Structure 1
Amino acid sequence: MWLVECAARSGVLVVGLFVTTGLWDWLPARWWAVGAALVLAAGYVALVPLWRFAVHRWEVTETAVYTQRGWWTRERRIAPMSRVQTVDLTQGVLARAFGLASVTVTTASAAGPLRIEGLDRVVALRLVDDLTSKAGLVEGDAT
């Protein structure tokens, strides 16, 4: 799914640049710009999905939800079960086509929700049920 997302983004950029170069009659190196964009887009499509796969991690224990994400800097977040307010499952059009889903865990935190992306739909449904039941067992009001 991440590969297709990257290819679509790159494709829009390259096609847009290709179309606009036709309007740049005064720019002698306009086709070099398209060629450079194609090389950069190919690198983006080849490397970004692999990088995301290598970096993105998540884990759920009896006491907390752990996530890791990031590009240049790593963001590791821990949300104690006592802070979990809602657990949501979302599927975009592309995710549905691949049988995938994302789980969003909203907490009583100013840092915002934790997001676990690219899960198999069945795994995501089980995770939502599991987190909901674990959060319901913890004493407290998630504030």
Structure 2
Amino acid sequence: MKVQDWVLLIAQVVGTVGTLGAVWVAVVTVRMSAAQTRSAEEGLRRDRRIDFQLGVLRELGQVNLRPDGTDLTIGQLKLLAAMLPVDLVPIARVVAGLETTWAAGELRDKVADELKATERQDWESYPVWHRLQRDIERELVAAAEQLLGQRA
């Protein structure tokens, strides 16, 4: 083999190795980009969920501020509370008659016992609603703070 042949062979080997290196860099870049895209999409979904839940909390707060305990108010409370996770607003879910946490269930039992003692057994009566409004208000503020903390 002549020197020219060796130079051409070495040039082809170096070119092939360089091409393989470039392909490897491209594959790594595509994988990193895909991982960043997934992370960004998850963050966007989380932020949208938090925005939705904060909006529901705002509406729930407006319903909770109403002085009446009518069926319409309880119905709105039930609809809004059902849109949120069980552990986010357990007291509101108790008032609405939805599945709730153990602690809120204990509160429900306590209020039911108090109602039985006064011979008022309807959960959706104004005195019960009025009694739990401040608890729900505190719960909504805590839930909003929790959601805002998840954002940071």
* Fold-level similarity (TM above 0.5): no
More helix, by proportion: 2
TM-score, structure 2 as length reference: 0.29
Higher relative contact order (CA 8 A, sep 6+): 2
